[in-house]
């Protein structure tokens, strides 16, 4: 069963709250998935485990002090393995919870100065419509909740279900295309909190010179226990997991930027471009150059 929570904080757009329920509900019904969506207004109470929690936009300015329990709720859910999602103003609460981890995030361009003043440490890229990580998805403008919903549908129910949903509602599915037929979306709901700490550590620090010992320290486990439990929880060895994470980010950079292959190699944590090319080719089935040529400009036609 897929379980999601929509956080109807004070001022959240009801059209987005209801629209998310409609779009997600249609997708689940279309593929026969069991979906439970909770609309939450009380963030001090204990809640069930969720695969994802969603912060819809607000048409007004949001104030964190008006919902003091919400940042703590987000931290708790994130620590339990939920994917944290925001659209537009919802990013304010993500920043207040300290969940960006130094990574680029997006929101409405009109909020840029306000968010940068309140959270100067946050890397805000309002030129992007959607920025997706394993544990965090942020979307731009007031109507970007639609793109966020499609990203969640693709992640949990598959590309074809997301494309069919976009077709049914006659909305564009440009950002979420099938250009990466092999994606790395590791499980965060395995229930091992120590392993999850290591996964979150890698999400924000994958480009650094990370060692297995660093991962073990982040998890709070001794070395041998860490190796055993990380493999059991994630399905991969720590080294293989880090490789997959770095190559996934390299795929993003090849599609979304003009950076050269060597520059991308260094950006994702490798120092040897030829070795990086070999690893990328092994994990993706194409060289970085061929990957960029083949997938960068392909857009699915949802109108046909």
Confidence of residue 245 (pLDDT cuts 50, 70, 90): very high
Report percent pLDDT > 90 for the chain. 75
pLDDT of res. 297: 56
Which whole number is the average pLDDT over 266-274?
96
The mean pLDDT value for 250-255 works out to 90
Q: What is the pLDDT of residue 300?
A: 44
Do the beta carbons of residue 51 and residue 82 sit within 8 Å? yes
- Pairwise pLDDT comparison (251 vs 179), residue with the higher score: 251
Bigger pLDDT: 281 vs 187: 281
- Confidence (pLDDT) at 48: 78
- Region of 7 (left: φ > 0; alpha: ψ -120 to 50; beta: rest) is beta
Q: Is residue 262 scored above 60 in pLDDT?
A: yes
For the beta carbon of residue 47, count every other beta carbon within 10 angstroms: 15
3-state SS, the chain, equals: CEEEEEECCCCECHHHHHHHHHHHHHHHHHHCCCEEEEEECCCCCCCCCCCEEEECCECCCCCHHHCCCHHHHHHHHHHCCCEEEEEHHHHHHHHHCCCCCCCEECCCHHHHHHHHHHCCCCEECCCCCEEECCCEEEECCCCCHHHHHHHHHHHHHCHHHHHHHHHHHCCCCCCCCCCCCCCCCCCCCCCCHHHHHHHHHHHHHCCCCCCHHHHHHHHCCCHHHHHHHHHHHHCCCHHHHHHHHHHHHHHHHHHHCCCCHHHHHHHCCCCCHHHHHHHHHHHHCCCHHHHHHHHCCCCCCCCC
Query: Cβ–Cβ contacts within 10 Å for residue 168, how many?
Result: 13
pLDDT, average across residues 52-80: 94
- Contact 8/53 with Cβ under 8 angstroms? no
Strand partners, 132: 137
pTM of the model: 0.77
Beta partners for 6?
A: 39, 54
The arithmetic mean of pLDDT across residues 289-297, rounded, is 81
Token look-up 């050269």 returns 260
Q: Tens digit of pLDDT for each residue in 144-193?
A: 999 999 999 999 998 899 999 999 999 987 654 434 556 788 889 899 99
User: Could you say which of 2.20.25.90, 3.40.50.850, 1.10.3720.10, 1.10.10.60 is the CATH number of the domain covering 193-294?
Assistant: 1.10.10.60
Query: Does residue 22 register a pLDDT over 70?
Result: yes
- C-alpha 52/C-alpha 32 separation (Å) is 19
In sequence order, what E strands does 128-269 have? 130-132, 136-139
Structurally, at CATH architecture level, domain 2-169 sits in 3-Layer(aba) Sandwich (3.40)
- Give the mean model confidence (pLDDT) for residues 81-106: 95
List where CATH 3.40.50.880 sits in the chain: 2-169
pLDDT at 304: 36
The model's pLDDT over 224-238, given as tens digits with 9 standing for 90+, comes to 999 999 999 999 999
Is 94 in contact with 7 (CB distance < 8 Å)? no
The segment(s) of the chain belonging to CATH 1.10.10.60 are 193-294
Per-residue pLDDT at 177: 41
| Residue 56 clears pLDDT 70, i.e. is over it | yes
Give the per-residue pLDDT at 174: 61
Summarize the confidence of residues 78-100 as an average pLDDT.
96
The two beta strands, 136-139 and 130-132, are: antiparallel
């Amino acid at each position: 069963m897929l379980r999601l929570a929509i956080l109807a904080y004070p001022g959240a757009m009801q059209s987005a709250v209801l629209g998310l329920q409609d779009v997600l509900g249609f997708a689940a019904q279309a593929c026969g998935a069991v979906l439970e969506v909770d609309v939450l207004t009380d963030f001090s109470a204990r809640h069930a485990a969720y695969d994802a929690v969603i912060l819809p936009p607000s048409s007004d300015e949001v104030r964190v002090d008006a919902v003091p329990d919400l940042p703590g709720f987000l931290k708790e859910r994130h620590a339990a393995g939920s994917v944290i999602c925001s659209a537009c103003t919802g990013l304010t609460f993500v920043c207040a919870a300290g969940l960006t981890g130094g990574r680029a995030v997006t929101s409405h361009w009109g909020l840029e100065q306000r968010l940068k003043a309140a959270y100067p440490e946050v890397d805000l890229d309002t030129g992007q419509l959607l920025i997706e990580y394993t544990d965090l998805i942020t979307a731009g403008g007031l109507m970007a909740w639609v793109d966020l919903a499609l990203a969640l549908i693709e992640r949990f129910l598959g590309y074809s279900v997301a494309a069919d949903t976009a077709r049914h509602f006659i909305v564009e599915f440009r950002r979420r295309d099938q250009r990466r037929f092999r994606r790395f979306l590791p499980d965060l709901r395995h229930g091992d909190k120590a392993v999850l700490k290591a996964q979150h550590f890698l999400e924000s620090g994958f480009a650094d010179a990370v060692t297995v010992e660093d991962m073990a320290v982040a998890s709070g486990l001794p070395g041998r226990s860490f190796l055993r439990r990380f493999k059991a929880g994630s399905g991969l060895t720590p080294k293989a997991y880090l490789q997959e994470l770095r190559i996934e980010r390299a795929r993003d950079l090849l599609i979304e930027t003009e950076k050269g292959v060597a520059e991308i190699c260094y950006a994702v944590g490798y120092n040897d471009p030829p070795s990086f090319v070999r690893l990328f080719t092994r994990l993706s089935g194409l060289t970085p150059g061929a990957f960029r040529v083949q997938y960068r400009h392909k857009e699915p036609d949802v109108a046909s």
